Amino acid sequence: MCGRFALTSSPETMAELFHLLSLIDIVPRYNIAPTQPIVAIWEEAGRREGHFARWGLVPRWVKDPREFPLLVNARAETMREKAAFRDPLKHGRCIVPASGYYEWRTGPDKKKQPFYITRADGRPMALAGLYATWSGPEGEEIDSVATITVTANAQLSEIHDRMPAILLDQDQIDTWLDVRAVRAETAAQLALPLEDGALKFHPVSTRVNSARDDDPGLIAPVTLEEPRSMETKPVDGGQMSLF
């Protein structure tokens, strides 16, 4: 899954990379969490612009968003069948820009160690996503987004069994966002694991576990403690034994 990410690129960089018609008024974020506003990019009437949307999809047909479960991720394998994702896959495809994302590896002691994962070439990521606009009875509207996940490649599987669907180049981004000419079945084929070597990662501080922390130190590498080796103990007569 993908449950936290960072976005540190400037508005100018975002506009240039993703061919936006206008700048997005953003500040660097290092610990973006579900339910928070995130930047999402989609096209309407051929215009590609950035929007702020809630991370956690609310389908159009939901009566009360407060009583609907949080849909942060959509699994690529089932998004065409799930009622919440079928319509957004046809008409609401978007990308979520990210500088990198966090994932947690569960150790033998059941402790979870966070890692920060980025593109190996250092470029910002374009996470494949789905958006919907919910309209309330009083005329209120909520734009919301879910990011798409796929089975992790061999490289990332040592951390987690899932990874975000990441669009690598401009052709893929253009195809994904073109909901007028590109059918859902065709677009869904872009949601695939990246090849090994396309990403890199390093361990980071467990401070990222708290959504209240949001500073550059969260993405800095940390040194992990080496596992303790089995120690031998003296037994009768000063002999050494493993038993």
Q: List the alpha helices (DSSP H) in 38-183.
A: 83-91, 170-177
In a domain, 228, yes or no: no
Q: Looking at residue 11, which CATH number applies to its domain?
A: 3.90.1680.10
* Domains of the chain: total: 1
Q: Regarding beta strands 47-55 and 141-151, do their DSSP bridges make them parallel or antiparallel, or are they unpaired? A: parallel
pLDDT above 70: residue 14: yes
| Catalytic residue set | 2, 103
pLDDT above 50: residue 150: yes
Please write the tens of the pLDDT for every residue from 64-103: 988 899 999 999 999 999 999 999 999 999 999 999 999 9
Residue 2 confidence (pLDDT)? 80
Specify burial of residue 8 (Cβ count, 10 A radius: 0-12, 13-18, 19+).
middle
Residue 140 confidence (pLDDT)? 87
In a domain, 234, yes or no: no
Q: Which domain holds residue 124?
A: 4-222
In a domain, 233, yes or no: no
In a domain, 103, yes or no: yes
In a domain, 241, yes or no: no
CB 40 within 8 A of CB 53: yes
Please write the tens of the pLDDT for every residue from 216-235: 999 999 998 765 544 444 44
